[in-house]
Chains A and B, each alone.
Chain A
């Protein structure tokens, strides 16, 4: 779809797929509306380029929030709906950034521990830590960690080199403009916390996933219980039992309230 404006129907498909957790659609949707977000950011860009970088991040996050909430029955074009949330997010950011914050010595020391834990994790794993991992590494409670992270949040210049720790010399702005920089772009989207959709399939073990995918032909050719059993060295009846238990597990997971642990930062 790059290079040409999608039809209203294609745009709706992108929004629906983004809401459903499709990362490629999410990336495409962000790319499609990046110029429009940039246009809004310029209106709030009173404080210089650093603030503009974070305005863009807030704008992308708000766009994705709008995609999760947008209902085509509202009879409003998507951008007509989403731009309201983008503008609101930017207004709030400006309010937040201009509010004075005084840090206690205790908070400064805590912040240093969080930064060190994040740096260590990045070096060891090559990826941003989750809040749960940071909490484990620092020994802070989630509440304390959230407080410190709220203070730690800082804008990043579009021309600032990302540095060796992220394995590239590209600038942040280049990555946003070029979705080919897959890993870095994913990090941007991760920072926007787009992975908020509960994926029930994550609750299943490998065998359960194989049984359900095979029996119902999800992402692979459909198989009978006998065929799946032959592949796994089990009887068809055992496969039926595994499937029943897996479906019950999914049902239980859906009935439970969402678990906030492990959200990306």
Chain B
């Protein structure tokens, strides 16, 4: 791909290891010959296969062990983003082969379908060609359907444009039901002073015995969300904290009308966009935004 082209996000459904290796290696070699950077994300076994098949060319490829990267969507996106940026320092564009780790439950499939939808937007400003690979063997129908919904082109016997592709934001909305209220949280008034907010939040974190390093994560993430509420949300109306599902939760409720972008905070940092929610997503287990009778709410799960 030329350096002025931006993201291409395609899928390849393979029915054997040999087919995976043959297509992936051909895809990457084409890129290497054109001076492009190359990235492979796979299990250790998959990486070993690719290293062997690439031979000496493997030295020019970055490998991501998916047992580190495919934990939370925001962290996976950041891991690939880091690998892309590393190559883009010295190459005009990047190719990646990313073997997607499909979990055992429908909720897990939805979460990673959402990740695939968001991928279309996260790196949309970068000259990157991502080939997501799926092992067809035993692939649930719902996952297969999501592959066609989230990739503009899919390779089966040849490249085919997907006629099932869904607008990424629309798909994310479909996959995310409105968050349930958490009546067990307790509230404190927000004010406009971020230092006062942090001190109060810290007291709650200590009271809930959140370890120091994790508490710092929440203080930084919370500060970003609170700063957004002050800057763009006409001020903080209320802050609610407590534990739910074993995790510390913090809600910042502002006085503004809020935003409607379901992928806010998932776009890799770039000119012209704020990084506050990206930071909050990197430091939290999950970030949700919704409107409730209390006001526009951003909820962070630590």
- Give chain A's interface residues, CB within 8 Å of chain B: 9, 12-13, 15-17, 19-22, 61-62, 65, 68-69, 71-76, 80-81, 84-85, 89, 92-93, 95-96, 99, 101, 141, 143-144, 146-147, 150, 193, 196, 199-201, 212-213, 215-219, 222, 247, 250-251, 254-260, 263
B146 to chain A, nearest CB (A): 17
Q: Are A257 and B78 in contact (CB under 8 A)?
A: yes
> With a CB–CB cut-off of 8 A, which chain A residues contact B302?
20
> With a CB–CB cut-off of 8 A, which chain A residues contact B219?
216, 247
State the CA gap A80–B247 with chains docked (Å).
20
Interface size class of B (residues with CB under 8 A): 35 or more
State the CA gap A254–B111 with chains docked (Å).
23
State the CA gap A209–B51 with chains docked (Å).
42
Q: Are A61 and B48 in contact (CB under 8 A)?
A: no
- Given A213-B212, A251-B279; A84-B59 close (CB under 8 Å): no
Q: Are B107 and A73 in contact (CB under 8 A)?
A: yes
Q: Are A61 and B107 in contact (CB under 8 A)?
A: no
State the CA gap A141–B60 with chains docked (Å).
10
Taking A85-B103, A92-B43, A200-B216 as given, write out 4 further A-B residue pairs in contact, using a Cβ cutoff of 8 Å, ordered by the A residue number: A150-B44, A213-B212, A218-B202, A251-B224
State the CA gap A1–B212 with chains docked (Å).
23
B17 to chain A, nearest CB (A): 8
State the CA gap A247–B59 with chains docked (Å).
38
State the CA gap A74–B104 with chains docked (Å).
10
> With a CB–CB cut-off of 8 A, which chain B residues contact A260?
64, 82-83
Q: Are B108 and A143 in contact (CB under 8 A)?
A: no
Digit string of B192-205 for contact with A (CB within 8 Å is 1, else 0)? Answer: 00000011001101
For chain B, what secondary structure do more than half of its interface residues adopt (helix, strand, loop), or is it mixed? Answer: helix
Residues facing A in B58-81 (CB within 8 A) are: 58-64, 67-68, 70-72, 75, 78-79, 81
- Given A150-B51, A258-B78; A81-B103 close (CB under 8 Å): yes
State the CA gap A255–B82 with chains docked (Å).
11
Question: Can you name the residue of chain A whose Cβ is closest to the Cβ of B202?
Answer: A216
Q: Are B217 and A200 in contact (CB under 8 A)?
A: yes
B100: CB under 8 A from chain A? no
Q: Are A73 and B79 in contact (CB under 8 A)?
A: no
Give 29 A-B contacts (CB < 8 Å), ordered by A residue: A9-B246, A12-B246, A15-B246, A20-B211, A21-B211, A61-B67, A69-B103, A71-B111, A81-B105, A92-B43, A96-B44, A96-B45, A143-B60, A143-B63, A147-B59, A150-B44, A150-B51, A193-B68, A196-B68, A200-B213, A200-B283, A201-B212, A222-B203, A254-B217, A254-B221, A255-B269, A257-B82, A257-B85, A260-B82
Q: Are A144 and B79 in contact (CB under 8 A)?
A: no
Q: Are B245 and A12 in contact (CB under 8 A)?
A: yes
> With a CB–CB cut-off of 8 A, which chain B residues contact A71?
107-108, 111, 286
Q: Are A250 and B68 in contact (CB under 8 A)?
A: no
Q: Are B59 and A143 in contact (CB under 8 A)?
A: yes
Residues facing A in B75-117 (CB within 8 A) are: 75, 78-79, 81-83, 85, 103-105, 107-108, 111
> With a CB–CB cut-off of 8 A, which chain A residues contact B64?
260
Q: Are A74 and B245 in contact (CB under 8 A)?
A: no
Question: Can you name the residue of chain A whose Cβ is closest to the Cβ of B107?
Answer: A74
> With a CB–CB cut-off of 8 A, which chain B residues contact A141?
59
A114 to chain B, nearest CB (A): 15
A155 to chain B, nearest CB (A): 14
Q: Are A73 and B245 in contact (CB under 8 A)?
A: yes
B215 touches which of A16, A68, A95, A218 (Cβ 8 Å)? A218
State the CA gap A80–B211 with chains docked (Å).
28
B190 to chain A, nearest CB (A): 17
A195 to chain B, nearest CB (A): 11
B206: CB under 8 A from chain A? yes
A233 to chain B, nearest CB (A): 23
Q: Are A255 and B282 in contact (CB under 8 A)?
A: yes
> With a CB–CB cut-off of 8 A, which chain B residues contact A15?
246
> With a CB–CB cut-off of 8 A, which chain A residues contact B30?
none
